[in-house]
Amino acid sequence: MSDRHLIVLNVNDSEHEVLVEPRKTLVDVLRHDLGLTGTHVGCEHGVCGACTVLVDGEPVRACLVFAVQAEDADIRTVESLSREGELSDLQQAFSAHHGLQCGFCTPGFLMLAEGFLAQRPDAGREEIREAVSANLCRCTGYQTIVDAVEATAVRRCHVQEKEATA
């Protein structure tokens, strides 16, 4: 008999009841039980970062977390970034700066960058380079990803300054 637990996950501002085995990872529940396939699975052992989501605002490798551990947390996946079909500023910057090629790593980088910029909104290029080095990309060479994150940081700072002086 399988040992399954009914848990409630708060994902992208919606509560989901799911019946899960304790061994099931968060990324598998997001993809297979909730149909949120924007989060990708690469290495499945914490190296590549393709599975990165935000858990209480922190970028987390969802292949290293059991779903039962994420109960009560605020989970955000890449699906939360766009609003009413419009890409977020960060997503638009990835597109404008060619921060993706095959796109497999992109959801992980977007969530990594989103979490990072929330904590370090005025980060400089070197700090951004270090932050994005947490994840693996086999296509871009990283420079364009750094460009996209840097452009987003600059843009958000300008928007904030404008709002403060309005």
- Say if strands 58-61 and 5-11 run parallel, antiparallel, or are unpaired: unpaired
In Å, what is the CA distance from 136 to each residue of 9, 23, 28?
28, 26, 20
Q: Which amino acid is at 110?
A: L
- Nearest distance from C-beta of residue 67 to ligand FES, angstroms: 14
| Nearer to ligand FES (CB atom), residue 44 or residue 89 | 44
**Any contact of residue 137 with ligand FES (CB under 6 A)?**
yes
Q: Does 96 bind ligand FES (CB under 6 A)?
A: no
Instruction: Give the footprint of ligand FES on residues 40-69 (CB under 6 A).
Output: 41-44, 46-51, 61, 63
Selected binder of ligand FES within 127, 139, 155, 156 (CB under 6 A): 139
SS3 content of the chain, % helix, strand, coil (to 5): 40, 15, 40
Judging by beta carbons within 10 Å of its beta carbon (0-12, 13-18, 19+), is residue 89 exposed, middle or buried?
middle
Q: Which stretch binds ligand FES (CB under 6 A): 11-19, 39-47, 120-128, 150-158?
A: 39-47
Q: Does 91 bind ligand FES (CB under 6 A)?
A: no
Please provide the size of the chain in residues: 166
Q: Residue numbers of the site for ligand FES (CB under 6 A)?
A: 41-44, 46-51, 61, 63, 100-105, 137-140
